[in-house]
Amino acid sequence: MNRPSLWEALRGVVRRDLMLAMRRRADVAMSVFFLVIVASLFPLGVGPEPAVLRTIAAGVLWVAALLACLLSLGRVFTADYLDGVLEQMVLIAQPLPVLVVGKVFAHWVVSGLPIVLLSPLLGLQFGLDGEALGVLVLSLLLGTPTLSMIGAIGAALVLGVRGSGLLVALLVLPLYVPVLIFGAGAVTSSMAGMGGEANLSLLGASLVLSLFFSPWATAAALRIALE
């Protein structure tokens, strides 16, 4: 029968989104530059005192990463919704939550991964050293996919709503709070010599939890948006 295998469908979804991202590199660059600029504004505002910068580093970098993720959420489903590609995706003969995972993964590769890769450089800017830098990267590696998964629910819920950019921020930011606390906490506690393992484990747990629940919630929201 005319039915793509689950793997084929998943690969197709990821491939299309990555191809599109390659065609519109400016969009990708935008959230990365946003992160760099926000993170660079703080030293300018707070002053060049190394001790102060080190204290605020974890929080500032995590908030900047979080806002950069938020900024890119509009790209997950909106364009597909407007040009009808989303309708076609819902009609693929495979479970929608799995396809949603593909879409969110592609979105993370384009918007989350650059943040993770860039973070050591920004960390250096704030005077973080070896171990703390490592924990920062690790915490973002675990945290940004969680942000994308949670954000996808919000992005799907506000499809077709006017002023959705602000609404998605209001919906999603409260849900980002635990991730922010664990992520920044991991870096802070490793700087205090306590090791970041506990917070990193909690971040990992949030990721697993969001991987489990978010695709279903997002798929349900997408179906409602298309009705």
Partner 1 sequence: MLQTVSLSCLRGDRRLFSNLNVTVQPGTLLAVVGENGSGKTSLLRMLSSLLSPEDGAILWQGQDIREQREQYCAQLTYIGHLNGIKDDLTAMENLALSASLAGDHCDGPVAHAALEAVGLRRQAHQLPTKVLSQGQKRRVALARLWLSTRPLWLLDEPFTSLDTAATGLVTEQLQKHLTRGGIAVVVTHQEVGLPSGLIQRLRMNG
| Residues binding partner 1 (CB under 8 A) | 1-4, 8-9, 12-13, 15-16, 19-20, 23-24, 82-85, 87-95, 226-227
In the bound state with partner 1, the residue whose beta carbon lies nearer, of 84 and 163, is 84
Nearest distance, CB of residue 82 and partner 1, angstroms:
8
Nearest distance, CB of residue 4 and partner 1, angstroms:
4
Residue 10's alpha-carbon distances to 4, 103, 122, 136, in angstroms, are: 9, 8, 34, 30
Residue 145's alpha-carbon distances to 101, 124, 176, 225, in angstroms, are: 11, 23, 12, 23
In the bound state with partner 1, the residue whose beta carbon lies nearer, of 11 and 46, is 11
In the bound state with partner 1, the residue whose beta carbon lies nearer, of 20 and 180, is 20
In the bound state with partner 1, the residue whose beta carbon lies nearer, of 94 and 189, is 94
Contacts 24+ apart (CB under 8 A), 95-99: 95/6, 95/219, 96/219, 96/222, 96/223, 97/215, 97/216, 97/218, 97/219, 98/6, 98/9, 98/10, 98/215, 99/9, 99/10, 99/13
How far apart, in whole angstroms, are the C-alpha atoms of residue 75 and residue 21?
Answer: 10
Buried b (16+ CB within 10 A) or exposed e, 6-34: eeebbebbbebbeebbeeeeebbebbbeb
Nearest distance, CB of residue 55 and partner 1, angstroms:
44
Nearest distance, CB of residue 214 and partner 1, angstroms:
21
In the bound state with partner 1, the residue whose beta carbon lies nearer, of 64 and 156, is 156
Q: Are 32 and 118 in contact (CB under 8 A)?
A: yes
In the bound state with partner 1, the residue whose beta carbon lies nearer, of 92 and 173, is 92
